[in-house]
Amino acid sequence: MYTSQNPQVMFSQAGNYVINLVVTGTNGCVDSISGNMHINNLPIADMILQNVCELDNSLFLDQSVSGSTIANWNWTFGDGDSSSLQHPIHAYSNDGTYQVMHQVEDANGCKKDTTLDIIIFPRPSPQFTTSHECVGTAFSFLNTSTIPNGYSIANSFWNFGDGSPLDTNFHPNHVFQSAGNYLISYTAESNNGCRDTVMDSITVFPSPNVSFSSDTVCEGNLTSLNNTSTIVNGSIIGYEWNFGDQSTSTQTNPQYIFPTGGIHFSTLVAMSDRGCIDSITQPVRVWWPPQPMLQADVVEGCEPLPVSFVDLSTSLDGSVVNWNWDLGNGDTSSLQHPSTIYAEDGLYDIQLNVISSLGCSNDTVYSEYIMVHPLPIASFRYDPSEPSVFVPLVYFYDQSALATVWHWNFGDTTFSSDQDPTHKYKNPGIYTVQLIVESEFGCLDTAWEVIDIKKDYAIWIPSAFTPNGDGYNETFNVKGFGFGDFSMQIYNRWGALIFTSNEVIKGWDGTHQGEEAPQDVYVYKVDIKDDLGNPHTYTGRVSIVR
């Protein structure tokens, strides 16, 4: 009860209340009045927050409920910004933890608020350093990225601007295949998925394009080397020559006396003003006096061995114009590229004398240059002499001479490398058996034999069966292979025909006219034709056992 004229009352619960007002006048007169009052429920303020990276938009999702309609929303984001939207979107400029206050007001003017903390994750600060390098040299990228304590850089993504795949190493190495300027893009990602990207350009310096030419001189004369190296930009500041015999020079276009004739592989190294280096190695030829040289297309083989010789001789001046060959087997020749046949095994010396157009002569001997090996002799026999599908196992016996390796082809797509193999033929037919023998020197000889695996047939007829319903041996069936046409008749002891079949898979089940035949002895007659068309008849007795 309140005695003040205008009391203020806080109701602890919503609901309907009866209010009584009693007043007393100065003259002691009393009057009263009653009225109804309704106290509304407060709304429930609730929200869902989304922890995000700094500068990213975060959705603030209102989850408030009220007994009536919510009319107003008031958000303060903890960084000085606010919103009256129901579901505002807000981006924080800096990382940290912020206290978000959410207040709702329903259509009755009732208000309620709540606060929650939101975490704003920091973005990495991507940074890297590298140096300008030459084309074809590995660039080392030093990652100096940072992120506030408590967080870490979890992933790195490098785009080198040259079309290569993204590199995910923290400190990558990369080789650029072409000179030029490249825009490098590096993205750092924190352990919370926050990303930031930095870009920088680098220069890949070109290497010199090294080349040179040389004149051809005789042994003992100066060879002039003409340097034709270039570079697309910048300049070449130095050269180094290596003439292939430990002699060197730093001249741009040197002259050099090579100590001998022949081919000298010389190397030129060029360096640019950026320190980029490239080199080339190529042959420099110096002529020498006539030097007889030969080559055979084959130097070792089996008798009879045909050999073709190629003259590879050179001359200081002019060319070789005369050739005199002694081929070691009694044959001689004045051709430049002669041929001969070595009919017998053995070792043969080859002698070549050459004469230049100026009359210079020289000769050489290639001792024991040609080696000829004897041939093996292939031979074999087999047993049995008349195999068949009933006797398909054939024994082969090697009777070769000088053989160390055996290659058998049995004519049915099967093979063996045994000396005395055994082979089982699966089907009848005529097979050509081939034996190739190989000597220790790889010489080959071949022998053949034709084997006829004859067709045959087989038939099995049981003497009893038990049609008693136990699932075993219930029918009288003929089995076999190698035959086609088939017929079978069953007779009882009085000669009456009680069963016939023209299919080998159709046997007698021990019944006659739908009734079980009595346990007894019955006579069968079976007619077949084998695969060669020959007829065969079999008769006998079969017993029913029940």
- DSSP labels, 60-77: -EE--B-SS-EEEEEEE-
Averaged pLDDT for residues 360-385: 94
- Structure-token pair, residue 373: 């090996």
Angle (nearest 5°) at CA 458 between 453 and 464: 165
Q: Indicate the CATH number of 212-287 among 3.10.350.10, 2.60.40.10, 1.20.1250.20, 3.30.530.20.
A: 2.60.40.10
Residue 462 contacts residue 479 (beta carbons within 8 Å):
no
Distance CA 435, CA 87 (A): 91
**Amino acid residing at 440:** E
CA distance 228 to 248: 18
Give the span between the Cα atoms of 540 and 103, in whole angstroms. Answer: 110
Q: Which two tokens stand for residue 138?
A: 């590995």
Contact assessment for residue 349 and residue 369, using Cβ atoms and an 8 Å cutoff: yes
Q: Give the pLDDT confidence score for residue 290 in this predicted structure.
A: 86
Question: What are the backbone angles phi and psi of residue 382, rounded to the nearest 5°?
Answer: -140, 160
Q: What is the CATH number of domain 128-205?
A: 2.60.40.10
pLDDT of 22 over the 80 cut: no
What pLDDT does residue 33 have? 85
Q: How confident is the model at residue 35 (pLDDT cuts 50, 70, 90)?
A: confident
Beta strand spans in 261-419 (E): 262-272, 277-287, 294-296, 300-302, 305-311, 320-326, 332-333, 339-342, 346-356, 361-373, 380-383, 393-398, 405-409, 415-416
Q: What phi, psi does 152 have (nearest 5°)?
A: -145, 160
The mean per-residue pLDDT over the stretch 175-194 comes to 94
267-271, 323-327, 387-391: range with lowest mean pLDDT:
387-391
Task: Provide mean pLDDT across the span 515-530.
Answer: 93
The closest of 420, 309, 300, 421 to 354, measured between CA atoms, is: 309
pLDDT value of position 155: 96
Give the residues across from 515 on adjacent strands: 512
Contact (CB, 8 A) for 113 and 46: no
Q: Strand 180-190 to strand 153-159: parallel, antiparallel, or no bridges (unpaired)?
A: antiparallel
122 three-class SS: coil
How does pLDDT run across 477-505, given as a tens digit for each residue? Answer: 999 877 889 999 999 999 999 999 999 99
| 208/230 Cα distance (integer angstroms) | 6
pTM for the model: 0.45
Cα 511 to chain centroid distance, Å, stands at 67
- Residue 15: the pLDDT is 67
- Burial class from Cβ neighbours inside 10 Å (0-12, 13-18, 19+) for residue 543 reads middle
| pLDDT of 532 over the 80 cut | no
Least trusted range by pLDDT, from 33-47, 336-350, 396-410, 462-476: 33-47
**pLDDT band at residue 87, thresholds of 50, 70 and 90?**
very high
Spatial CA neighbour of 517 closest among 476, 487, 482: 476
Q: Please tell me the predicted confidence (pLDDT) of residue 317.
A: 76
Q: Mean pLDDT of all residues in the chain? A: 92
Where does 294-373 sit in CATH, by number?
Answer: 2.60.40.10
Give the strands of the sheet with 361-373, arranged side by side: 300-302, 361-373, 346-356, 320-326, 332-333
Beta bridge partners of 35: 19
What percent of the chain has pLDDT above 90?
A: 76
CATH topology agreement for domains 380-453 and 458-544: yes
Strands (E), 138-179: 138-140, 142-143, 153-159, 173-175
Write down the CATH number for the domain with range 458-544.
Answer: 2.60.40.2550
Question: How far is residue 30's CA from residue 20's CA, in Å, rounded to a whole number?
Answer: 13
- CB contact at 8 A, 100 and 118: yes
Tokens of 115: 């606060």
- Spell out the alpha helix ranges (H) of 4-86: none
* Mean pLDDT for the stretch of residues 101-119: 94
Residue 101 CB-density burial (10 A; 0-12 exposed, 13-18 middle, 19+ buried): middle
pLDDT of residue 352: 97
At 455 the pLDDT is 78
Count of residues for the chain?
546
For the domain 380-453, what is the CATH code?
A: 2.60.40.10
Q: Domain spans of the chain?
A: 128-205, 212-287, 294-373, 380-453, 458-544
The candidate with the shortest Cα–Cα distance to 36, out of 19, 15, 22, is 19
Kindly report the number of other CB atoms within 10 A of residue 109's CB atom.
Answer: 10
**Cα–Cα dist 130/137, whole Å:** 13
Structure tokens belonging to residue 139: 């660039």
Which range has the worst mean pLDDT, 135-144, 211-220, 355-364? Answer: 355-364
Q: Give the CA dihedral 333, 339, 340, 346, nearest 10 degrees.
A: 100
Tokens of 128: 């890297």
Q: What is the pLDDT of residue 287?
A: 81
DSSP assigned state of 41: P
Question: In the predicted model, what is the mean pLDDT of residues 152-164?
Answer: 95
| Token couple for 110 | 């009732």
